[in-house]
Amino acid sequence: MSKFINALGFLTIIKIPKKYILKREQVADSTVYFPIAGLVIGMILSLFYFVASFIFPLFLSVILLLGLEVFLSGGAHLDGLSDMFDGTFSGRSDKDKILEIMKKSDTGVYGILSIVFLLLLKISIVYYLASINSGHVLIFYLTIVFMPAFGRWSMVFLIGRYKNARGGSSLAKIFTDNKNKRKNFYISSIYLFLLFLVLYTFFGYLTGSGVGSLSFLNNLESVYLILFILAKALLVTAALFLLLLSVSWFFTRRIGGITGDIIGGVSETTELLFLFINYLVFTFFI
């Protein structure tokens, strides 16, 4: 429980009681709970949107929804995104120069543009997903719940796969030096992917067949429907994983590892990719 509370406190602005705060060397193991912390954020977002949709117009509700996510994370991941783009696209090839640019407190043109375009794309895709036929509302809420979860899972992926790019005692080094980092990645991947596949298939089946049609074992068409929905869920997760591999390789290749900015920036990028993949699935497979 302490590790989960620390994961929630580390990834959000939520203050945790001092008695639950772990020692510096113990915090690294909280990464196994990062996706669960993301699920908590996602449930808060979904509940907020449910209430806001009865009060505000659709477009405003979507803006407030994504604004709430930025607020809950303290904007830290967007700050990492801007630094990541500034460093990567600075036109320099020297690792130390790139890291120096990332470390600066000021934001360059590429950093500003990355935040603007990411938010615009997220707002556009969420607006589209929210405005489709109301019969798919369960899948829409599921997408909102899992968006931050997969974003935080990408952090565990980066920590488990890459070494720290900076010398000294940086924040990222606390996690990359953890001997259990790969174990934590495998565990978090298994429970997150299984939970997504089960819930996506279940809610997709309810959407496609009606809430009252749960006795599918005697209905061959229902079995085919379930397999089709499961295939879509597998497509979402497989595509996201492959894209994450590509994105993480692109942003780490010149500095030979990760930094806190890379972790936060890739997390934001993963959320956008997750939304985009779901947009494609809704567009071509509904």
What are the sequence ranges of the domains in the chain?
Answer: 2-285
Angle at 117 between CA 112 and CA 120, to 5 degrees: 125
Exposure of 221 in the CB half-sphere (CA atoms within 13 A): 3
Mean pLDDT per 10-residue segment, the chain (286 residues) = 81 80 73 94 96 94 96 91 88 78 81 94 94 78 96 94 77 79 93 95 75 52 83 94 95 87 94 95 78
pLDDT on residue 211: 42
Asked if 44 and 12 touch (Cβ cutoff 8 Å), the reply is no
β-partners of residue 258 are 164
pLDDT on residue 133: 59
pLDDT on residue 181: 86
Contacts with 163 (C-beta within 8 Å, 6 or more apart), sequence order = 176, 256, 257, 258
Count helices and strands (H / E) in the chain.
12, 0
Asked if 272 and 150 touch (Cβ cutoff 8 Å), the reply is no
Q: How many CB atoms lie within 10 A of CB 37?
A: 24
Sign for the CA dihedral angle at 49, 51, 206, 194 comes to positive
- CA 208 – CA 206 distance, rounded (Å): 6
Asked if 16 and 2 touch (Cβ cutoff 8 Å), the reply is no
Q: How many CB atoms lie within 10 A of CB 17?
A: 8
Which residue is it, tokens 């699935």? 281
φ, ψ of residue 258 in degrees (nearest 5): -120, 160
pTM of the model: 0.91
Asked if 276 and 117 touch (Cβ cutoff 8 Å), the reply is no
Collapsing DSSP states into helix, strand and coil, what is residue 262? helix
| Angle subtended by helix axes 109-131 and 76-88, to nearest 10 | 130
- CA 146 – CA 41 distance, rounded (Å): 9
